[in-house]
Amino acid sequence: MTLNTSLKTIAAAAAMAFSLSAAGADTITLVQAGHLLDRPGQAPRGASTLVVRNDKVAEVLDGFVGAERYAGASVIDLRQRFVLPGLIDSHVHLTSDRAGVEGQLAAVTDSVAASAYEAQMNAHKTLQAGFTTVRNLGDGDGVTLALRDAVAKGWVQGPRIIDAGAPISTTSGHMDGRLGYTDWVQHAVPTTNLCDGPESCRKAVRVQVGRGVDVIKIATTGGVNSVIGAGVNKQMFDDEAKALIEAAHLYGKKVAVHAHGATGINLALAAGADSIEHGTLLDDEGAKLFLKSGAYYVPTLSTINGYKERIAANPDAYSPAVRAKIDWRIGITGKALKQAHARGIKIAFGTDAGVSKHGRNADEFELMVQFGMTPAEAIKAATVNAADLLGVSAVAGSLEAGKNADLIAVSADPLADVRALKKVDFVMVGGQVVKTPK
């Protein structure tokens, strides 16, 4: 079959699926895969057929099964491609990928409506890159909470979104949005995500729960992009971290913790954090706490790509205080992942897209492999492991009967060269084809 014939077949299948769905009948789509990694972490299958009924995987069959076996079924020919589950990015910021001085200016000049359109654009880029589920870890004005619901209702096209609402820190901590602005601007910036002392921190969690968030994000250390010269070590007392995490767990919410310095990593893990984001200065005590608690490590290595690209375009893209931390981050990136991988710590894929560029999420795979993981391990981190961390294993992370029909296809074997995932040819989300080969 020629490429043009294959493309016509895929387009016809999508049209038939839409027609049958509109008529109220079950839609059966047969996805023929040359190679299928239905359960990352296990060996891939050869020629296979996924039977998709409406938005779910109904069966996974050996060989190429045609429409003659399923009356009214449409067929999608991916026999020359490698098929695997839709990818999951555990750490994104959909509202923007502008940063540094440009991002700081945008925060006080862009309207909420403009931010909403930008978030939708970034969500579309992310989906087209093959990421069918994301965890959004920072949005103070409710844009991505609304986008999450709009995607779920089918109003707009995008990945499934697990949203944290506004991330929480102490006053002058990493999540204090007033940092770097003059006093009169600071007075206009919301502070309900800031807390000082246990009672205040419990309330900050409850405010986000009341907004309908899926997960709580906190910061126990300073950050690379914080416009404050206070370093990246612990910036929260033990009782504050404990209050935040206990309050979140009381409401059934997992806690993602921004932490670079070892003191903040260890504080969060001892208090019961579910994941550590960045974890740049992981030490031996932290490694032991990871293993004891079963928390996930989310490395976010590709932030350095965003930094390098912006600095190359404009050497003054960041303030001097932030630039010094960026140079440090670039130099140390990957060391913690090497240690975590060697110690057997659970690793979930996450990019911090927004610091790096949206739609380029798969760049993270190359860095994960560069710093010690195998392609198979990196893919599992972006499917099975990430689904477990996000609490969506019942619907995502693998292609099994009863799970959502979220799948992608690439033209080369990503288990041999993980860079194949940088060019996703085909995307299906919830049984709907949203990208076909060009």
| 400-420 pLDDT per residue, tens | 999 999 999 999 999 999 999
Q: How many percent of the chain have pLDDT more than 90?
A: 79
Return d(Cα 31, Cα 75) in angstroms, integer: 6
- Helix, strand, coil % over all residues of the chain, rounded to 5: 40, 20, 40
87-390 has which fold?
TIM Barrel (3.20.20)
CATH (residue range 3-86+398-435) = 2.30.40.10
* Residue 12: pLDDT band with limits 50, 70, 90: low
| 297-320 pLDDT per residue, tens | 999 999 999 999 999 999 999 988
Mean pLDDT in residue range 85-94: 98
Site of tokens 């004005």: 141
Q: Are 132 and 396 in contact (CB under 8 A)?
A: yes
Angle at 201 between CA 169 and CA 93, to 5 degrees: 35
Give yes or no for residue 180 having a pLDDT over 70.
Answer: no
Closest CA to 303 of 275, 269, 337, 272: 337
| Strand extents, DSSP E, 107-224 | 131-136, 160-163, 169-170, 194-195, 216-219
Instruction: Return the structure tokens found at 146.
Output: 């609304």
| 368-412 pLDDT per residue, tens | 999 999 999 999 999 999 999 999 999 999 999 999 999 999 999
CB contact set of 320 (below 8 Å; sequence gap of 6+): none
Q: What is the pLDDT of residue 100?
A: 77
Sheet holding 407-410, edge to edge: 56-62, 48-53, 28-36, 74-85, 407-410, 424-429, 432-435
Site of tokens 């690793």: 347
Domain ranges in the chain are 3-86+398-435, 87-390
Give yes or no for residue 336 having a pLDDT over 80.
Answer: yes
Closest CA to 147 of 203, 92, 221, 227: 92
**Strand 74-85, strand 28-36: pairing:** parallel
Q: Are 144 and 181 in contact (CB under 8 A)?
A: no
Cα atoms in the 13 Å half-sphere on the side-chain side of 183: 0
Q: What is the pLDDT of residue 191?
A: 74
Q: What is the DSSP string of 355-379?
A: TB-TT-TTHHHHHHHHTT--HHHHH
Helices 198-210, 238-250: crossing angle, 10 deg rounding: 30
Q: What is the pLDDT of residue 185?
A: 67
Closest CA to 305 of 105, 133, 99, 94: 99
* Residue 189: pLDDT band with limits 50, 70, 90: confident
CB contact set of 97 (below 8 Å; sequence gap of 6+): 122, 306, 353, 354, 355, 356, 357, 358
| 242-255 pLDDT per residue, tens | 999 999 999 999 99
Return d(Cα 128, Cα 364) in angstroms, integer: 16
* Residue 15: pLDDT band with limits 50, 70, 90: low
Q: Are 165 and 149 in contact (CB under 8 A)?
A: no
| 153-178 pLDDT per residue, tens | 999 999 999 999 999 999 887 877 66
Residue 180 vs residue 143, higher pLDDT:
143
